[in-house]
């Protein structure tokens, strides 16, 4: 037997059992051709414990007001407002926009907002949030997060993935990978963007990293075409498009049997999801039928 050195590095245990004797490869291919037998990467997962939440909504509002004007009460900073920054505050630390050559020009700035404690927990909330302050005991305010990243793009990447380096899955990817989704016609992880250019750092903020790409976020834009590359090209009807998708699917299945690469199955699932979204997404995006509430 002559080994195919081109595929040696892509061999997996699944590939081995799919290619070994007694025609198991053909049986596996027939099974894969049956859509009902294909594993759905988005199917709901069995939880480790009874969950309390069914959905996760993560609001990351870059460019919003400073935490120092909202929840983070700093009485010492307020006291030192307008003073020069003590050397002990800056020694051994890096800052993006601080002129180290003219230390006297760098002044401390405290908040101009009034803060009060609210609820039985005594949470400090500024005057900017009078209504949120009334439900202070129902909120969880995390004050233990710390980072040395001070530039916009790395800091946003850190907030969404837990690291300032590329290649890690985003929070939404982890949630979708861990619990799945009950929807068959819509992605489990949607990204609602605002603004003309999107966040600094781009798609890595909702990428799946080393997880299968089926768990990455699908951007939903606020301007122009809501979901890019979803509509069929002009002159392509539903029948022709279905035939095209089936042909690509057959080629992908053949390649999957040759290489055992699980990412090909992810690609197949993505094509099918995009096809179903052509019907489901317009209904989701249409907010005209929503009430003013």
Q: Enumerate the domain spans of the chain.
A: 11-40+229-285
Is the pLDDT assigned to residue 18 strictly greater than 60? no
Q: What is the pLDDT of residues 21-72, one digit of tens each?
A: 444 444 444 444 444 444 566 666 666 777 677 778 888 877 778 889 999 9
Query: pTM above the 0.85 mark?
Result: no
Give one word for 154, left, alpha or beta, with left for phi > 0 and alpha for psi -120 to 50: alpha
Q: Are 252 and 267 in contact (CB under 8 A)?
A: yes
Q: Give Cα 55 to chain centroid, integer Å.
A: 14
The sign of the CA dihedral 200, 205, 206, 208 is positive
Tokens 């929840």 -> residue: 71
Structure tokens at 86: 């003590």
Predicted confidence at residue 6, as pLDDT, reads: 52
Please state, as a whole number, how many other Cβ atoms lie within 10 Å of the Cβ of residue 232. Answer: 13
Structure tokens at 19: 């290619």
Backbone phi, psi, residue 255, to 5°: -70, -35
Q: What is the pLDDT of residues 233-288, one digit of tens each?
A: 788 888 888 888 889 889 988 988 888 887 888 788 877 877 777 777 777 776 67
């Amino acid at each position: 037997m002559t080994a195919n050195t081109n595929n040696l590095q892509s061999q997996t245990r699944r590939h081995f059992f799919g290619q070994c004797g007694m025609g198991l490869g053909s049986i596996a291919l027939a099974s894969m051709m049956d859509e009902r037998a294909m594993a759905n990467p988005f199917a709901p997962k069995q939880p480790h414990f009874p969950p309390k939440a069914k959905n996760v909504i993560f609001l990351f509002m870059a460019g919003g007001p400073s935490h120092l004007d909202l929840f983070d009460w700093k009485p010492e900073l307020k006291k030192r407002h307008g003073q020069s920054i003590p050397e002990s505050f800056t020694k051994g630390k890096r800052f993006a926009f601080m002129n180290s050559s003219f230390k006297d020009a760098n002044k401390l700035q405290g908040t101009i907002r009034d803060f009060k404690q609210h609820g039985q927990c005594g949470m400090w909330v500024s005057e900017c949030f009078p209504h949120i302050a009334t439900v202070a005991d129902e909120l969880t305010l995390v004050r233990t997060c710390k980072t040395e990243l001070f530039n916009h793009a790395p800091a946003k990447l850190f907030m969404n993935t837990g690291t300032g380096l590329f290649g890690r899955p985003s929070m939404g990817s982890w949630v979708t990978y861990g619990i799945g989704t009950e929807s068959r016609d819509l992605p489990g992880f949607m990204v609602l963007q605002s603004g003309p250019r999107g966040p600094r750092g781009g798609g890595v903020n909702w990428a799946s990293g080393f997880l299968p790409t089926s768990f990455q976020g699908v951007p939903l834009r606020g301007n122009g075409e809501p979901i890019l590359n979803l509509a069929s090209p002009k002159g392509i009807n539903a029948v022709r498009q279905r035939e095209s998708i089936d042909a690509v699917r057959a080629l992908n299945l053949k390649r999957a049997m040759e290489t055992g690469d699980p990412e090909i199955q992810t690609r197949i699932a993505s094509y099918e999801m995009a096809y179903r979204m052509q019907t489901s997404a317009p209904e989701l995006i249409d907010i005209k039928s929503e009430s003013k509430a």
